[in-house]
Amino acid sequence: MARKIGSRYTARQIIGRGSAGTVWLADGPDGPVAVKLLRDDLASDENLVDRFVQERAALLSLDHPHVVGVRDLVVDGTDLALVMDLVRGTDLRTRLERERRLAPEVAVAICADVADALAAAHAAGVVHRDVKPENVLLDAHGPGGPGGAPPALLTDFGVAKLIDSPRRRAAAGLPAGAAGTASGTGAATGGERTPRGLIGTPDYLAPELVEGLPPRAFVDVYALATVLYELLAGFTPFGGGHPGAVLRRHVTETVAPLPGIPDELWQVVHQCLAKAPASRLRAPELSERLREVLPLLRGLPPLDIDDHPDEPYGAAAGSAPAAASADEAAVPAQARPEPGRAAVPLVRSSASPDANRDTHTSMRVPGADELAGGAHGTARTPRAAGARRAGSARNRAAAAGRRRLVLAVAGVAVAAAVGVGGWLAAGDDGTSTRPAPAVQQP
């Protein structure tokens, strides 16, 4: 079913779908291209069309081997489309779902490519703002890199901001006109947070965005470190459950170390997940450090991490829904975890797709009830497969020492959570008097 897009492109076949529209394989004057045709409601939004035109130069200017080039913008009748280089292969999310975890060498090689793409974008004054596996395309026809890793290309530059139109915000129940409209290289300009909404994908959002600061290049580095962690572990460091809980974890929780990777690699991941933006590596440094570490990873298999790590809501939280319900039948009602928690898969996988992994663009800021998770933290703690749980006899002494630390950290975390929760929990008029989340001792 061929379809004309503008006067120059003939769409042949759908090759992907995202929240903003449909991606087609199309023929153009210079050969095959990928055309992202935006949804009708977006295409009929005059503000959005204006912004596309304003952003045209920025979108077309990025030319880098690890950036999916935007070749053209089509504004034609009811069609609004981005014409891109065609990448023959798959996206990183699909590969991750297929393999669950990547070999460290492959994961690091892919992220080094993405860091190069970010370095080029940042040098041009563009912040991506939606780095995630869905936006990394793997070129199946390119030369194999370390561990056989395919070349990785980052796509969707500036698109997250572009489609955050006032109309979309209104549809999402957010105030219109609060976020800055595009100007210059708009993807890098400020005013990115509406009073009640954030642009981005919760699992990958840097803490400073949750706190309301404008996006700087550091947010992309944080998101890429989150992607790297996810490629290694099979889950993101702060993901799982309601988006509000995810946002809070970014601000209040510390990333748990990954067992089984060289310390040199962990230091890089850890530094780029720092809460303080300035403590993170810059994209060029990140690329360099990742490439330095590559030789240490040669031949390492994917990490053997327990799929049901220690976390407050237990194994059921990470299980496929069917398994969770089977468990439920065997557990007395009073011993069951809080309703609505255990049923939420912490990880999106092919077995248990996580409907809570929001995609980019305006997200409704959650209420206090959705944020209430206590001070004990809800992030997962990765554990090497076969290692004992924290409550086992062998670990009890260590746990006693750790508890003191946890109490101290919890004190800090509670203060921060109350601050963030207070902001997040503010009602539309900002005067909510709902109580802060209850404090529980670990």
Ligand X SMILES: Nc1ncnc2c1ncn2[C@@H]1O[C@H](COP(=O)(O)OP(=O)(O)OP(=O)(O)O)[C@@H](O)[C@H]1O
Is residue 72 a contact residue for ligand X (CB under 6 A)?
no
Q: Quick one: which of 72, 79, 156, 358 contacts ligand X (CB under 6 A)?
A: 156
Is residue 5 a contact residue for ligand X (CB under 6 A)?
no
* Structure tokens belonging to residue 202: 């919760």
Nearer to ligand X, 117 or 425 (CB): 117
Is residue 102 a contact residue for ligand X (CB under 6 A)?
no
- Amino acid at site 74: V
Is residue 202 a contact residue for ligand X (CB under 6 A)?
no
Residues 279, 284, 290, 294: what is their CA dihedral angle, to the nearest 10 degrees?
-160
For 81, phi and psi rounded to 5 degrees? -145, 150
Is residue 358 a contact residue for ligand X (CB under 6 A)?
no
Q: Quick one: which of 129, 169, 250, 360 contacts ligand X (CB under 6 A)?
A: 360
Is residue 91 a contact residue for ligand X (CB under 6 A)?
yes
What burial class does residue 388 get, using C-beta atoms within 10 Å of its C-beta: 0-12 exposed, 13-18 middle, 19+ buried? exposed
95, 203, 90, 218: which is closest to 155 by C-alpha? 90
Considering only 18-26, 218-226, 243-251, 347-355, which stretch makes contact with ligand X by CB under 6 A?
Answer: 18-26
Is residue 86 a contact residue for ligand X (CB under 6 A)?
yes
* Structure tokens belonging to residue 28: 């153009």
Q: Quick one: which of 54, 181, 271, 359 contacts ligand X (CB under 6 A)?
A: 359
Is residue 17 a contact residue for ligand X (CB under 6 A)?
yes
Let me know: does 318 contact 347? Beta carbons within 8 Å. yes
* CA end-to-end distance (rounded Å), the chain: 59
Nearer to ligand X, 18 or 215 (CB): 18
Considering only 85-93, 263-271, 391-399, 424-432, which stretch makes contact with ligand X by CB under 6 A?
Answer: 85-93
Is residue 79 a contact residue for ligand X (CB under 6 A)?
no
Residue of 91, 116, 130, 220 marked active site: 130
In 1-146, beta strands by DSSP E = 3-5, 9-17, 21-28, 31-38, 70-76, 79-84, 89-91, 136-139
Task: Report in angstroms how near the CB of residue 92 gets to ligand X at its nearest.
Answer: 9
Task: Report in angstroms how near the CB of residue 137 gets to ligand X at its nearest.
Answer: 6
Give Cβ neighbours of residue 73 (< 8 Å, ≥ 6 apart): 52, 53, 56, 59, 60, 81, 82, 83
182, 207, 81, 195: which is closest to 126 by C-alpha? 182
Task: Report in angstroms how near the CB of residue 204 gets to ligand X at its nearest.
Answer: 11
Written as one string, the DSSP assignment of 172-200 is TT--TT-SPPP-SSGGG-S---BTTEE-S
Place of tokens 């360099």: 288
Q: Quick one: which of 36, 71, 242, 250 contacts ligand X (CB under 6 A)?
A: 36
Task: Report in angstroms how near the CB of residue 94 gets to ligand X at its nearest.
Answer: 7
Is residue 134 a contact residue for ligand X (CB under 6 A)?
yes
Nearer to ligand X, 155 or 362 (CB): 155
Q: Give the separation between CA 245 and CA 235, rounded to whole angstroms.
A: 16
For 297, phi and psi rounded to 5 degrees? -100, -5
Considering only 71-79, 83-91, 120-128, 291-299, which stretch makes contact with ligand X by CB under 6 A?
Answer: 83-91
Considering only 17-25, 191-199, 260-268, 395-403, which stretch makes contact with ligand X by CB under 6 A?
Answer: 17-25
Q: Quick one: which of 23, 74, 115, 119 contacts ligand X (CB under 6 A)?
A: 23
For 200, phi and psi rounded to 5 degrees? 145, -175
Which one-letter DSSP state was computed for residue 391?
T
Is residue 20 a contact residue for ligand X (CB under 6 A)?
yes
Is residue 19 a contact residue for ligand X (CB under 6 A)?
yes
Task: Report in angstroms how near the CB of residue 224 gets to ligand X at its nearest.
Answer: 15
Let me know: does 121 contact 67? Beta carbons within 8 Å. yes
Q: Quick one: which of 83, 87, 256, 273 contacts ligand X (CB under 6 A)?
A: 87
> Is 354 in the active site?
no
User: Please, how many CA atoms are within 13 Å of residue 206, restricted to the half-sphere of its CB?
Assistant: 33
Nearer to ligand X, 10 or 19 (CB): 19
Residues of this chain that interact with ligand X (CB under 6 A) are 15-20, 23, 34, 36, 68, 84-87, 91, 134-135, 137, 155-156, 359-360
Q: Which positions are catalytic?
A: 130
